Amino acid sequence: MTLTITSLYGLLGAALVGLGLYGLLVQPHPLRKILAFNVMGGGLFLVFDVVARRGAAAWFPADPVPQAFVITAIMMALAGTALAVAIMLRLFAETGRVTLRPEPPASSDGQGGDS
């Protein structure tokens, strides 16, 4: 079996998914987790793009449908990242630290919501 360019990039995608997944699970700082999530996303999109490239047919250099999927998913990864960063910065402003360790539940007075 000869290694094609497409397969090589597919393997790269597979490696990046594992690397990102490891960071997402192991990194303690939420910002590092989000970074790892984006690394994983890059690998995932690469795997999807390899699928597109293999589907080259008609006069298209690659199957347009998975390309559209990747473009759509890239926008959604950005939306999730922006929200995560916004929560982190607010948390940092409130407490001066950013951690995912749940605090011991204080006795809640009042409902959620500021109303």
Partner 1 sequence: MSPVMAAPEGLLLVLAIFGPVLGIPLLLVLGGRQAERIGLVLLALGLGVAIAIATTVIRRGDALEYVLGGWAPPLGVLLRADGLSIVMLATTAVVIGAAGLYARSDFGVPRGMPETRAPLVFWTLLLTVWAGLNAVFLASDLFTLFVALELLTLGAVPLVSLSGRAEALTAALRYLLFSLLGSALFLLGVALLYGSYGTLDIALLAERVRVEPATQLAAALMTVGLLTKTALFPLHIWLPAAHAGAPAAASALISGLVVKGSFVLIIRVWVDALPGVATPMAAQLLAALGAAAILVGSALALRQARLKMLIAYSTVAQVGYLFLAFPLASATQLGTAAWTGGILQAVSHALAKASMCLAAGLITKAIGHDRILDMGSIGRVMPTTVFAFGLAGFTLMGLPPSGGFVAKWLLLRAAIEGAQWWWVLVIVSGGLLTGGYLFRVLSRALAQSDEPPGLRSPLDRRGERLVLGLALLSIGVGLVPLASLSIVHIGRGL
Partner 2 sequence: MSGPGPIEFGLVVLIMAAAIRAHVAQATFAAALGFIAYGLLLGLVWVRLGTVDVALTAATVGAMTGVLLLSAATRMRAGERAAILERPGPALRGLIAVLCIAVSAAIALVVLMPADPAPTLAPAAAANNLHATGVGNPVTAVLMAYRAIDTLLVNVVLLIAVVAVWSMAPDSLWGGRPGPTPVRQDNEALTFLARLLPPIAVGVGIYLLWNDINEPGGAFQGGAILAAMWILARMAGLVDAPAIGRLSLRLALVSGPVVFLTAGFAGFALAEGFLAYPSGWERPVIIVINSAMTLTVAVTLAMLLEGPPTRPPSPPLAGMPTAQDAKRGER
109 φ, ψ (degrees, to nearest 5): -110, 130
For residues 16 and 20, give the distance between their C-alpha atoms in angstroms, rounded to a whole number.
6
Considering only residues 31-90, where is the footprint of partner 1 by CB under 8 A? 33-34, 37, 40-41, 44, 47-48, 50-51, 54-55, 65-66, 69, 72-73, 76, 79-80, 83-84, 87-88, 90
Give least dist CB 75 to partner 1, A: 10
Q: Which residue has the tokens 């690998």?
A: 43
Residue 79 CB, nearest approach to partner 1 (Å): 6
CA distance 6 to 39: 20
Interface with partner 1 (CB under 8 A): 17, 24, 30, 33-34, 37, 40-41, 44, 47-48, 50-51, 54-55, 65-66, 69, 72-73, 76, 79-80, 83-84, 87-88, 90-91, 94-95, 99-103, 105-115
